Structure 1
Amino acid sequence: MTDLHALALPAADDALTWLTDRCDGELDRARQLVDRLKAAPPTSATDVLQQWNDIAIALGNAGSVSSLMAEVHPQPAVREAAESAMQRVDAFSTDLGLDRDLFDIVSGVATDALEPSARRLHERALRDFRRSGVDRDEGVRARLKELAEQELLTGQEFGRNIREDVRTITVTPEQLAGLPQDWLDSHPAGEDGRVTVTTDYPDAIPVRTFAHDPQTRLAMAEAFLTVGWPANDAVLQRLFALRAEHASVLGYDTWADYDAEVKMIGAGSEIGAFIDRITELSGPSAQRDHQVLLTRKQQDEPGATAVEASDVQYYSEVVRREQYAVDGQLVRTYFDFTRVRQGLLDVTGRLFGLTWQQVEAPVWHEDVAAYDVLRDGRRIGRIYLDLHPREGKYKHAAQFDLVRGVRDRQLPEGVLVCNFNRGLMEHDEVVTLFHEFGHLVHHVLAGEQEWMTFSGVATEWDFVEAPSQMLEEWAWDADVLATFATNAEGETIPADLVHRMREADDFGKGFQARTQMFYAAVSLDFHVARHGDLTARLRQLQAKYSMFPYLAGTHMHTAFGHLDGYSSGYYTYMWSLVIAKDMFSAFDRDDLFAPAVAQRYRDRVLVPGGSKDAAVLVSNFLGRAYTFDAYAAWLAE
């Protein structure tokens, strides 16, 4: 890669103008490139694909910036402008996929002389044209365009309602007994003597994990599980109807069939079979650990007959503390946010042969830190870390593209968006940080592709989580944690504590798998059948798959953001975990930094991006096809 400049972000006062200029400028460039290609189509397949690639780069540049800023920018006007830009990008992309003249140009070239990656790009382009409905009549294409526009608008409304609906509970200080002292210090009582707590993660997770008072935990669970209600119930009904019609118009029985066609799983019918397989595999472990929770709850409430949703995190923590000698409040004293962040950079730098060099650069908020990424002394990209909550910001944890890298054209730039405390972190949050950073590493390392389509995290969607899930393992290794996990006195986290933490984390993996399958079943079922009452159907699915009963009056689906982006494919988290466990089996548990296997994994799984099928990437790394064996063994431990 030649010496390329990072994208120059604007000062705060110029953000709105810059955003519009960036998005519309790149869209205008894409239009000009399309017009040029249609006006004078090259006869060479390579030349056609090069021009097609130029269009993809311009379109990607417009889309990446708008989708990021719609979720993170502190100024409402900029977020609104970004959503509007996303709509223009999506409309152009839809028009592109329905353009018969372009289809004729791309499909009409001879491909015999193309090198393998170009042939793969050509095949992918033709597949995407077909899935867009380019071969349908004019009336059908017009309806598909309308549907695509309405799906985007509806998805944006769904996400906006989640971002903006921050709920609160108010309790007395006594009702917060059990919470860590540093958390209590940061939540003083108001003039009325009560403490206000929000449904944002830095409040909700500690309260549901540590508060001794069951009514406080219940109030928080009820508030957390009704975010987006009732507005998003109607929004989801619209979204599911739009997707169902979209799939039907294209000749698919359900949206899940349409969506799964381009994933590793291959068919919508296979999703349900996978969900049931995991449900069966996890059954014995789930039953055993559920009974442990119930027995422990009965010590506090002798008449208890069920473990409620508001009990799960609390009693899981109690069991880990009492039966595994793991005190979450002690553990968190070793995970100061600043040290964890630097430790993550050191660990991943050593593992993947990278240097993260902090740079002074314009950013959209003072909390954001920018780093250039160097490999062998050569700059290969830039990352931004936006890790603390604020009003109007995306509420979960995810990696966003800012720029998708293309060899000798533009550097990959990615953004990690999370919502962590500024002080001490729960170890679960540390694991989440490692997980999400895995996406960022993947985005940067795979950013030297020739073809935009294969750049970054461009594998099949049900493989996307596997590299990140595997990176979580480094957040559980005593030797790794010893490099950055120290308390205020400078004492390193004891290895025997880390060992007990790992054993304690294994507690509950069965019922956690069942909970994941409940979410996956919701994701699938809502996209294959119409339900007049989504909450009623949610209750049925929870009774079938989850180990824990429905909490009366709640509506989890209205804040289940994955119903937009992942649609019917939430199963992919568990599918990816199966592969992640198999890939991790190739590493030496006694030396997770062993360079030979780490470099082989980096170069054969991460660097290729989407240039090969995910199954091929895994096979190239493992030397065999992936199996269920490692996952099944882990689940049975």
Structure 2
Amino acid sequence: MTAAPTRFPVDDAAWPAFLTETVDANLDAARTHLATLKDGTTRTSAQVLDLWDAGDLALGRASAAAHLLAEVHPDADLRSAAEAGAQAAEDLGTERELDRDLWEVLAATTDDDLDADARRLREHVLRDFRRAGVDRTAEEREHLKALAQRCTELGLEFARNIREGARSITVRPEQLDGLPDDFRAEHAAGDDGLVTLTTEYPDLIPVRTYAHDASVRAALTSEYLRIGWPENAPVLAELLRLREERAHLLGYPDWPTYDAEVKMIGSGQAIADFVDRLDALTAEAAREDVGVLLARFRADDPQADAVTPADSLYYDQVVRREQYDVDAQEVRRYFRYDAVRTGVMETASRLLGLTFTRVEAPTWHPDVEVYDVASDGSAVGRVYLDMHPRPGKFNHAAQFPLVPGVVGRHLPEGVLVCNFSTGTLEHDDVVTFFHEFGHLVHEIVGGAQRWAAFTGVATEWDFVEAPSQLLEEWAWDPGVLRTFATDESGEPIPADLVERMRTADAFGRGAWTRRQVNFTALSYGLHATPPDDLDAYTADVDARFGPYAPLPDTHQVTGFGHLEGYGPAYYTYLWSLVIAKDLRTAFDDDLMDAEVGRRYRDAILAPGGTADAADLVERFLGRPTSFDAFEAWLATRA
């Protein structure tokens, strides 16, 4: 019998008890299942895997709820308690994989009479035991456990310092010249006559994009690039060092090699090779793009000698307005948050055969919306949209699992956490909405699995962005946009404006991709050979890849949140983009082809982690993936 959806407390005072019941009780259940596995009872391989799966599901539920609430709950004490629960869940996972007695129980199983999914589960479990170091001496295992637990602690601290590290500046009202009227109306001067601007996205992105005053752009961008400084510098340095030590103890030359072993890319050296390939593909295009921005910058300031991150968005939109007749402020009139939310959901509904029904249910904050998801009249999951910024909340955009979907036991539940304005959005925000919604539908559609380990977004981690990057394509389709992008009078966005937007989008593609190569090289290099000086190493990467000149006295690396979750694997975004551009070719000229959409859903999303990503792609495309579509996209110039 499938359990009911999560019931969150109505009373604030009930939250500590909810956390105990959801996290602690599930951790206790997981421990009980693991202890039962080691009680000496003779069991078939299928029975062993069933018990393992029960423990895995309980651990997954505890971990998901703890990690989510640590990032989104409005009460700081509850966030701290949830963070402790997340640490306990990660620690239990570490202890489980280093438990030699438990490993011997699993190793004694055979593939006899197991179906394909069960055999895959057994193979993955034994692989993970090996990668944890279960076959090492007792002393080595204890050391590996201590290292893993410390890495978890450091990772949580690193994320917390970013989440709670928002900064701000104050400016005079006239320094908001160039910003949209609705932004200025929402940013009235205080008693001191000054306007406060924060590093949260609803302030940061419009200021970087529209503020005529270069000093304001530079000041706010610089504060953004100091998030986590100085607290995260020693945290990151220790995390990198301990990851390297773990890799060496496990017999790997470095952490990227260890990390990549279970990903599509396969090896650390392959990441370095991927960076080199992208370096060659993007260097000239990026130089051309930045050259155009710098020339336009010098028309305003003849003394300008470089384009920095504080100038890049501003002059990008200036060039698009002047050379491609795309005024970003005109475009944003058509993207009101409520309409965008409805449009994204309706697009996914039509494409994938899903329905989203709003339901009234308690959550952790009044802003959160709840929707039940159905397919062909049957319930398939529940999703939560937590879409607007508030103090102490996760300050980027991501999808968080809440309940792992297992057939007959739990329907999947996922949470979209973003930081959009409640009013009008930039088109880039619309693209981000589609992207993150791609993760959300993957979590739900892939959440009907027999085994907890394979549910939802459980593919290789360097494939996980491909479905989301594919869904971004719908944010550029004129027919799709006309269904929800309307101005206040109800007039849809003109088709010719969308076409100009698409043409202008090709401008800056080289610089954008080059910036992603920069982040990719940084995340890989920091882990391949942890440097003594984090800022100096970041400067070296900037010097090689750019494409923009760094701002002085900033510390980008301490606010680079992906270094905690993705580690050396930021390459995932470009690796997945190569695949996403290839997947796009299956839709030809009709992105709303429901037949292709349903085939995509069934071939790519629905299997979850039950097959290798390369096999999923080949099933859908009828061939292995290639670089061709990505290279053609990158070569397209405005």
TM over 0.5, shorter chain: yes
Q: Please state how far the C-alpha of 1:321 moved relative to its aligned partner.
A: 0.7
Q: What CA distance in whole angstroms lies between the structure 2 residues aligned with 1:536 and 1:440?
A: 38
- Name 2:486's counterpart in structure 1: 486
- Name 1:575's counterpart in structure 2: 575
Q: Please state how far the C-alpha of 1:583 moved relative to its aligned partner.
A: 0.3
Q: Please state how far the C-alpha of 1:489 moved relative to its aligned partner.
A: 1.1
CA contact (8 A) 1:335 1:487 kept: yes
Q: Which amino acid aligns with 1:619?
A: E
Is 1:66 the equivalent of 2:62?
no
State which drifts further: 388-397 or 499-508: 499-508
Q: 1:42 to 1:606 in 2, by over 3 A?
A: farther
Q: What CA distance in whole angstroms lies between the structure 1 residues aligned with 2:278 and 2:596?
A: 29
With the length of structure 2 as denominator, give the TM-score of the two structures: 0.98
- Name 1:444's counterpart in structure 2: 444
- Name 2:182's counterpart in structure 1: 182
Q: What CA distance in whole angstroms lies between the structure 2 residues aligned with 1:493 and 1:42?
A: 67
CA contact (8 A) 1:279 1:513 kept: no
Q: Please state how far the C-alpha of 1:4 moved relative to its aligned partner.
A: 4.1
Partner-residue secondary structure (3-state), 2:536: helix
State which drifts further: 217-226 or 109-118: 109-118
Q: What CA distance in whole angstroms lies between the structure 1 residues aligned with 2:586 and 2:14?
A: 49
Give per-residue Cα distances to partners, 1:532-588, cap 9 Å, x unaligned.
211011001011012211211111011100000000000000000000000001103
- Name 1:165's counterpart in structure 2: 165
Give per-residue Cα distances to partners, 1:252-308, cap 9 Å, x unaligned.
111111100000000001101101111211223212211111111111112323212
- Name 1:596's counterpart in structure 2: 595
State which drifts further: 11-20 or 625-634: 11-20
Q: Which amino acid aligns with 1:400?
A: F
CA contact (8 A) 1:293 1:319 kept: yes
Partner-residue secondary structure (3-state), 1:592: coil
Q: Please state how far the C-alpha of 1:117 moved relative to its aligned partner.
A: 0.8
Q: What CA distance in whole angstroms lies between the structure 2 residues aligned with 1:300 and 1:288?
A: 19
1:348-427 matches, within 5 Å, as 348-427=348-427
1:466-545 matches, within 5 Å, as 466-545=466-545
Q: What CA distance in whole angstroms lies between the structure 2 residues aligned with 1:526 and 1:314?
A: 30
Is 1:623 the equivalent of 2:606?
no
CA contact (8 A) 2:350 2:594 kept: no
Q: What CA distance in whole angstroms lies between the structure 1 residues aligned with 2:300 and 2:127?
A: 59
Q: What CA distance in whole angstroms lies between the structure 2 residues aligned with 1:399 and 1:530?
A: 29
Is 1:614 the equivalent of 2:638?
no
- Name 1:150's counterpart in structure 2: 150
State which drifts further: 33-42 or 425-434: 33-42
Q: What CA distance in whole angstroms lies between the structure 2 residues aligned with 1:496 and 1:276?
A: 38
Give per-residue Cα distances to partners, 1:224-274, cap 9 Å, x unaligned.
111111111111101111111111111111111110000000000110110
Q: Please state how far the C-alpha of 1:40 moved relative to its aligned partner.
A: 3.8
Partner-residue secondary structure (3-state), 1:382: strand
Q: What CA distance in whole angstroms lies between the structure 1 residues aligned with 2:619 and 2:186?
A: 50
Q: What CA distance in whole angstroms lies between the structure 2 residues aligned with 1:595 and 1:200?
A: 38
Partner-residue secondary structure (3-state), 1:111: coil
Is 1:193 the equivalent of 2:200?
no
Q: What CA distance in whole angstroms lies between the structure 1 residues aligned with 2:36 and 2:311?
A: 62
Q: Please state how far the C-alpha of 1:42 moved relative to its aligned partner.
A: 3.9
With the length of structure 1 as denominator, give the TM-score of the two structures: 0.99
- Name 1:324's counterpart in structure 2: 324
Partner-residue secondary structure (3-state), 2:144: helix
Structure 1 segments (4+ residues) deviating >3 Å: 40-43
Q: What is the alpha-carbon root mean square deviation over aligned residues?
A: 1.0
- Name 1:100's counterpart in structure 2: 100
- Name 2:633's counterpart in structure 1: 634
Q: Which amino acid aligns with 1:517?
A: V
Q: 1:41 to 1:605 in 2, by over 3 A?
A: farther
CA contact (8 A) 1:462 1:572 kept: yes
Partner-residue secondary structure (3-state), 2:310: coil
Partner-residue secondary structure (3-state), 1:402: strand
Q: What CA distance in whole angstroms lies between the structure 2 residues aligned with 1:258 and 1:532?
A: 21
Give per-residue Cα distances to partners, 1:456-499, cap 9 Å, x unaligned.
00000000000000000001100000000000011100011011
Q: Which amino acid aligns with 1:124?
A: H
State which drifts further: 314-323 or 3-12: 3-12
CA contact (8 A) 1:445 1:606 kept: yes
Partner-residue secondary structure (3-state), 1:178: coil
- Name 2:4's counterpart in structure 1: 5
Q: Which amino acid aligns with 1:183?
A: F
Q: Please state how far the C-alpha of 1:432 moved relative to its aligned partner.
A: 0.3
Q: What CA distance in whole angstroms lies between the structure 2 residues aligned with 1:558 and 1:20?
A: 32
Q: What CA distance in whole angstroms lies between the structure 2 residues aligned with 1:546 and 1:46?
A: 53
- Name 2:209's counterpart in structure 1: 209
Q: Please state how far the C-alpha of 1:9 moved relative to its aligned partner.
A: 1.6
Q: Which amino acid aligns with 1:295?
A: A
Partner-residue secondary structure (3-state), 2:414: strand
Q: What CA distance in whole angstroms lies between the structure 2 residues aligned with 1:228 and 1:4?
A: 40
Q: What CA distance in whole angstroms lies between the structure 1 residues aligned with 2:264 and 2:181?
A: 47
Q: What CA distance in whole angstroms lies between the structure 1 residues aligned with 2:451 and 2:298?
A: 59
Q: Which amino acid aligns with 2:55?
A: I
Q: What CA distance in whole angstroms lies between the structure 1 residues aligned with 2:623 and 2:492?
A: 39
Q: What CA distance in whole angstroms lies between the structure 2 residues aligned with 1:42 and 1:331?
A: 67
Q: What CA distance in whole angstroms lies between the structure 1 residues aligned with 2:36 and 2:43?
A: 14
Q: Please state how far the C-alpha of 1:502 moved relative to its aligned partner.
A: 1.2
Q: Please state how far the C-alpha of 1:174 moved relative to its aligned partner.
A: 1.2
CA contact (8 A) 2:2 2:410 kept: no
- Name 1:272's counterpart in structure 2: 272
Q: 1:148 to 1:4 in 2, by over 3 A?
A: same
Q: Which amino acid aligns with 1:85?
A: G
Give per-residue Cα distances to partners, 1:9-36, cap 9 Å, x unaligned.
2223311111112111111111111121
Q: Which amino acid aligns with 2:522?
A: V
Q: What CA distance in whole angstroms lies between the structure 2 residues aligned with 1:414 and 1:505?
A: 31
Q: What CA distance in whole angstroms lies between the structure 1 residues aligned with 2:36 and 2:112?
A: 25
- Name 1:252's counterpart in structure 2: 252
Partner-residue secondary structure (3-state), 1:627: coil
Partner-residue secondary structure (3-state), 2:616: helix
Give per-residue Cα distances to partners, 1:206-226, cap 9 Å, x unaligned.
001000011111111111111
Partner-residue secondary structure (3-state), 2:549: coil
Q: What CA distance in whole angstroms lies between the structure 2 residues aligned with 1:585 and 1:501?
A: 21
Partner-residue secondary structure (3-state), 1:8: coil
- Name 1:111's counterpart in structure 2: 111
Partner-residue secondary structure (3-state), 1:530: coil
Give per-residue Cα distances to partners, 1:306-347, cap 9 Å, x unaligned.
212211010001011111111111111100001111111111
Is 1:242 the equivalent of 2:242?
yes
Q: What CA distance in whole angstroms lies between the structure 2 residues aligned with 1:251 and 1:3?
A: 43
State which drifts further: 421-430 or 191-200: 191-200
Q: Which amino acid aligns with 1:125?
A: V
- Name 1:547's counterpart in structure 2: 547
Partner-residue secondary structure (3-state), 1:586: helix
Q: Which amino acid aligns with 1:609?
A: G
CA contact (8 A) 1:20 1:81 kept: no
Q: What CA distance in whole angstroms lies between the structure 2 residues aligned with 1:391 and 1:18?
A: 22
Partner-residue secondary structure (3-state), 1:245: helix
CA contact (8 A) 1:517 1:546 kept: no
Q: What CA distance in whole angstroms lies between the structure 2 residues aligned with 1:82 and 1:554?
A: 31
- Name 1:456's counterpart in structure 2: 456
Unaligned runs of 5+ in 1: none
Equivalent residues, number: 635
CA contact (8 A) 1:41 1:48 kept: no
State which drifts further: 280-289 or 313-322: 280-289
Give per-residue Cα distances to partners, 1:350-403, cap 9 Å, x unaligned.
110000001111100000000000101111100000000001000100000110
Q: What CA distance in whole angstroms lies between the structure 1 residues aligned with 2:496 and 2:533?
A: 50
Partner-residue secondary structure (3-state), 2:501: helix
Partner-residue secondary structure (3-state), 1:491: coil
- Name 1:43's counterpart in structure 2: 43
Unaligned runs of 5+ in 2: none
Q: Please state how far the C-alpha of 1:3 moved relative to its aligned partner.
A: 5.3
Q: Please state how far the C-alpha of 1:592 moved relative to its aligned partner.
A: 1.2
